[in-house]
Structure 1
C-alpha cells in the first residue's frame, strides 16, 4: 500500500463485508497515530470488519455511532478542563451531533498506522502475520471504555490535542472514497438512432488528469476531493493539528531493562534502587496502552516485589547473624549465611527476569512473572 501515514474516521450506515454497498462519509483524520479520541469513539463493543480502503487481509474497526458519542462525551468531561480542551471538545461534539453527519456506525481505518507499528517486529517487510498481530493489539486497546474514562484526568498537556481531536472536525480526508462493494452496473441500453450533426462547439480547456490511485486501494468511482489538509477553514477557531509530529507508540522493554541497575556494585542499595525505578518507569507506561501498559504494570509489580524481598532478606540476615553468633556461638558460613544466600539467588533471578522481559517487551509481547500485585491496572 502507498502510505500517507494517517488514521481515518468515517461514518457508515452499512456493515462492510456483509454484501451491501458501503458508502463511507468522511469525518476526521490524524497523522502518525490513532488519537485517543478516535479509540474512545469506537470503544463500546468494537469489532473487526474488512477495510473499505485497502485490499484483504487489512481490517478496520467498526463501532456503534450513538454509543461511541456518549462514551466520548464522558471522556471529554473527564479531561483536564483547560480553555483549549473546552474549545476542542465543543468542536468535536458539534460535528458529531450534526444531524446531517450522523449515522449507524463509526468506521476507523488504521491500516497505514498498523503497518508502521508492525515494522519493529518484521524482518525487513511487514507481512500479513505482523499486520494481523498489530490489528489485534489495536482492537484490544480500543475496547476498554471505562479505562479510557478513568485515566482521562491524568492526560498530560502535550496529549490533550490528540485526546480531543484538536478541533479538526470535520475534515477533508486524504482518502475520500465513493461507494464500495457496489452492485454491478446495469446492462447498456440499445443504441439510440443517430442524431443530426451538432454545431461545432467552442474549444474547451483540456481536462485535468485523473487522480492517481494508491496501490492496493479500491478504485474511486468519483474524483477525489482536492487535498486541503492543513488549509481547512478554522470553523471553530482551532489551530492545525499539533499532533502531526507525534509518532505512534512503539514496543519498549525499558521498564524491564531498568532492573539491570541491580548489577551496579553497591550491595543492597542498587537492588532497592532498581526495584523502585522499575516501578516508577513501569507505571509511566499506562498512557501508552496495549502491550506497553501491561509490560509496564508487570515490571512495576516485579520491581517492588524484588525491593521488598531484598529488605526482608537483608534485615533477616543481620538478625540471624547477631542472634546466633551472640547466643549460641555458632560459627561458619552456614547456617549464618543461609538468608543472604537466598538473596543472592533472588538477585540472579531478578537479572535474568529483567533481560528476558526487556527482550520480549521490545518485540511487542507481554511478559509476566509471579509477583505481588501491587498494581492491577
Structure 2
C-alpha cells in the first residue's frame, strides 16, 4: 500500500460496472488528504464507487468549481508573505497549468488508502469526509476570499507546502490505461 490520497479527472463517473475512460491523473499526496484535494473535490460532492478499492469510498465533484476555488485561494495566499516565495510561486504556476491541461467535467478523489491507515469505517468514511472535512475546507476558503479568516490565511502562508504542494503529474502511483 502506498498510503496516498489520489485525485483524478474524468468526463463521466465510475459505476458499479466500470470506470470512466479516459481518466486523467491530477495529483497524489502522501499520508493525508491535503487541503488542496478537499477544496478541489468540494463542489457538488457525492460518493461514488471507488476505481481502486472495493468499498464505495470514491468521491466525485464538479471540476470547474473546485479548480476555480483552489486557484483563487492560492492567489490570495500569495498576496501575503509566504515562506519560500520562489518555491511557492513555482508551485502555483505548476498547479494552475496542470489543472488547466487536465480539465474535465469531474474530479474523482480516491482517499481509500488514507481511510485504511486511519482505521476508518470504510462503509461511512466517504460521506463523513464530505460532511466534515470537505464542507469545512470549502467554507474556510470562501470565507477567506470574503475577507475573513485572516488567522487561517496566515497559517497557510507559513506552512503552504503541507496544504498545497502535492505531486501533480500525468502519471500517478495508480494510473489507468488510456485505451
TM range (shorter): 0.7 to 0.9
Structure 1: stretches of 5+ with no match in the other structure: 120-129, 180-221, 223-377
Alignment of 1:47-86 (within 5 A): 47-55=46-54, 57-79=55-77, 80-82=80-82, 83=85, 84-86=87-89
1:42/1:143 contact within 8 Å kept: no
Aligned to 1:91: 94
Aligned to 1:268: none
SS of residue in 2 equivalent to 1:143: helix
Structure 2: stretches of 5+ with no match in the other structure: none
**Does residue 1:143 correspond to 2:135, yes or no?**
yes
1:14/1:20 contact within 8 Å kept: no
Instruction: Say which structure, 1 or 2, has more relative contact order (CA 8 Å, 6+ apart).
Output: 2
Structure with a larger share of its residues in strand: 2
Larger Rg: 1
Computed over aligned residues only, the root mean square deviation of the Cα atoms, in angstroms, reads 2.3
Change (3 A) 1:134 1:21: closer
1:27/1:170 contact within 8 Å kept: yes
2:19/2:51 contact within 8 Å kept: no
Change (3 A) 1:105 1:54: same
TM-score scaled by structure 2? 0.80
Provide Cα deviations, 1:130-180, integer angstroms capped at 9, x if missing partner.
Answer: 1233333311211242323424513245631132225x322521111237x
| CA–CA distance in structure 2, aligned partners of residues 163 and 89 of structure 1 | 12
Aligned to 1:123: none
In the TM superposition, residue 39 of structure 1 has moved relative to its aligned partner by: 0.7
